[in-house]
Chains A and B, each alone.
Chain A
Amino acid sequence: RKEVEQDPGPFNVPEGATVAFNCTYSNSASQSFFWYRQDCRKEPKLLMSVYSSGNEDGRFTAQLNRASQYISLLIRDSKLSDSATYLCVVNMPASGTYKYIFGTGTRLKVLA
């Protein structure tokens, strides 16, 4: 089982739609969680951190479910500019330190 798993998509949605992505992780000792956005041939950019209580930033809502070991990202009122690959990232302990592991990424295409 991969340490961090995502549905690769692609998710093709019309403008204005609401779309949700899930990400599961295998290490229950994982400490922190993030959603990144990556545009084609560019480096990933932090979209938002994910907190236990859930957090919202404009049209984006992230939630964490520690019991089930998954995080989610909800995008409301999709824009064409939201088209990108969304990567979940999990910070997990490793040999006395920590490491950040990326999910496989979920491709989103917002259609006009």
Chain B
Amino acid sequence: GAVVSQHPSRVICKSGTSVKIECRSLDFQATTMFWYRQFPKQSLMLMATSNEGSKATYEQGVEKDKFLINHASLTLSTLTVTSAHPEDSSFYICSAIDAYEQYFGPGTRLTVT
């Protein structure tokens, strides 16, 4: 099956700093990628749909100025958490579609201290 990678897998940062998470489709091109967030013991919540070459579509309640998404190429989408706060600590997962199937990256665990 298709492979999606994420980097970093784990990051700890101080409150007020920004963190960039990369999502790459390794063996296929993805015009659309999705970013999810998962808090402990909860399900995945869709944050935004990342579209190559255009603006991302954010879900209701997700601040687009706080969670910056850039999908500059067919194999790379980035999520930048700006001015991170402890409540942003979560598991961030991206996914990409290949042949109508959704493949997930391994996730990035963000801890904001």
Residues of chain A whose beta carbon lies under 8 Å from any beta carbon of chain B: 32, 34, 41-46, 49, 87, 89, 94-95, 97, 99-105
For chain B residues 81-111, which have a beta carbon within 8 Å of chain A?
Answer: 91, 93, 95, 100-102, 104-107, 109
Q: Which residues of the partner chain B approach A104 to less than 8 Å between Cβ atoms? A: 42-43
A43 touches which of B34, B51, B106 (Cβ 8 Å): B106
A94 to B105 alpha-carbon distance, docked (Å)? 23
Determine the residue in chain B with the shortest Cβ distance to A107: B41
The 10 closest A-B pairs by CB, nearest first: A43-B104, A102-B44, A105-B43, A104-B43, A102-B43, A43-B107, A43-B106, A43-B93, A44-B104, A99-B49
| Interface membership of B78, Cβ < 8 A | no
- Mask of B31-50 contacts with A, CB within 8 angstroms, 1/0: 01010100000111110010
Q: Known A-B contacts: A42-B106, A43-B104, A46-B101. Give 18 more (CB < 8 A).
A: A41-B91, A43-B93, A43-B107, A44-B93, A44-B104, A46-B102, A95-B57, A97-B32, A97-B57, A99-B34, A100-B46, A100-B102, A101-B46, A102-B43, A102-B44, A102-B45, A103-B43, A105-B43
Known A95-B57, A99-B46; judge A43-B105 contact (CB<8 A): yes
Which bracket fits the contact residues of B? 20 to 34
When distances are taken between beta carbons in the complex, the residues of chain B under 8 Å from A87 are: 43-44
> How far, in angstroms, from A87 to B42 measured CA to CA in the complex?
11
- List B contacts of A41 (CB < 8 A): 91, 109
Interface of A, helix, strand, loop or mixed by DSSP = strand
Residues of A within 8 A of B100 (CB): 32
Name, among A43, A46, A101, A103, the residue most crowded by chain B CB atoms within 10 Å (CB to CB): A43
A102 touches B46 (CB 8 A): yes
Ordered by A's residue number, 11 sampled pairs between the chains whose C-beta atoms are within 8 Å are: A32-B100, A41-B109, A44-B104, A87-B44, A94-B57, A95-B57, A97-B49, A99-B46, A100-B46, A100-B95, A103-B43
Residues of B within 8 A of A46 (CB): 101-102
